[in-house]
Amino acid sequence: MVFPRNLPERSWERIGTSLRELTNSSAWWLGDWLVFGESTYGLRRYREAIERTGLDYQTLRNYAWVARRFEQHRRRDGLSFAHHAEVTRLSPPEQDHWLDRAEQRKWSRNELRRAVRAGLAEQGHRTGLPPGSGDDQRKTPQPNEPVDHGPVDAGPGDADARRRKDTTLTIELSAGQLDSYAKAAAAHGLPVATWVTQVLDAADRSTA
């Protein structure tokens, strides 16, 4: 990019803003392009994508991972692709909760990362598990880091329950109830299963 020497500072600032928006959009475009190729043409290898874009495998795989986790209607125009990447390993209600807060408080990507880590650390404290221990760690994909495409775990509370081998309780909920409970759990930074368990424990203690 070549700039005239007499370019006004205001114009230089506007160019930077446009470049930022273009960079953010291109990450989503590449992710959507890869997801479409996988679903439409059965793309299994990224060799063709690497040749077409000149980007490395890990970067492309992360773009596709984030795009797959966020349908277009759930993407925040006021937040960057990197903001969304920070919460990909959380459940959708938790993702919405943290992105809403980031948008309202105008957090940078790093501020969002610190807030999410603090929230998960507090959650680990409530469930009696050290945050980030073993399989309970929720890992946010980084720009040049390979990402696991396997199922996303529901969180520390569920892993703890598996280790205790507690009895499984099945509760039938309407779609409206599930949505309401998911929002309430996300407001506390918890997976639905953990939040419900805590509510039931509290009710049991109040009747004891």
Are 179 and 144 in the same domain?
yes
In a domain, 1, yes or no: no
Residues 162 and 82 in one domain: yes
140, amino acid identity: T
pLDDT of residue 170: 66
- 37 Cβ partners below 8 Å, 6+ apart? 43, 48, 49
End position of a domain, from candidates 36, 69, 102? 69
Rounded Cα distance between 106 and 127, Å, is: 30
The answer on 141 and 107 residing in a single domain is yes
With beta carbons less than 8 A apart as the criterion, state whether 73 and 40 touch: no
Residues 28 and 109 in one domain: no
| 106 and 33 housed in the same domain | no
**Residue at 140 is within a domain:** yes
pLDDT in tens, 58-114: 888 899 999 999 999 999 989 999 999 999 989 999 999 999 999 999 999 999 999
In a domain, 146, yes or no: yes
Predicted local distance difference test score (pLDDT) of residue 157: 41
149 within 8 A of 57, measured Cβ to Cβ: no
HSE (side-chain half, CA atoms, 13 Å) at 39? 9
Which position has the token pair 């990362």?
Answer: 113
Tell whether 90 and 50 lie within a shared domain.
Answer: no
Instruction: For 121-158, give one letter per residue: b (16+ CB within 10 A) or e.
Output: eebbeebebebeeeebebebbeeeeebeeeeebebbbb
Structure tokens at 155: 């969180």
- The reply to whether 85 and 186 lie within a common domain is yes
- 61: tokens are 């795989």
Residue 52 within any structural domain of the chain: yes
93 in the same domain as 60? no
- Number of separate domains in the chain: 2
Residues 181-194 have pLDDT tens digits of 777 766 666 666 77
178 within a domain of the structure (yes/no): yes
Query: Same structural domain for residues 129 and 28?
Result: no
Last residue of a domain, one of 18, 42, 69: 69
Q: Is this model's pTM higher than 0.75 or not?
A: no
Q: Is residue 139 part of a domain?
A: yes
pLDDT band at 125 (very low <50, low <70, confident <90, very high): low
Range of the domain at 30: 7-69
By mean pLDDT, which of 46-50, 179-183, 199-203 is the weakest? Answer: 179-183
Residues 185 and 204 both lie in one domain: yes
Single out the residue in 69, 86, 110 at which a domain terminates: 69
Residue 146 scores a pLDDT above 50: no
Q: Are residues 125 and 192 in the same domain?
A: yes
Q: Do 40 and 81 belong together in one domain?
A: no
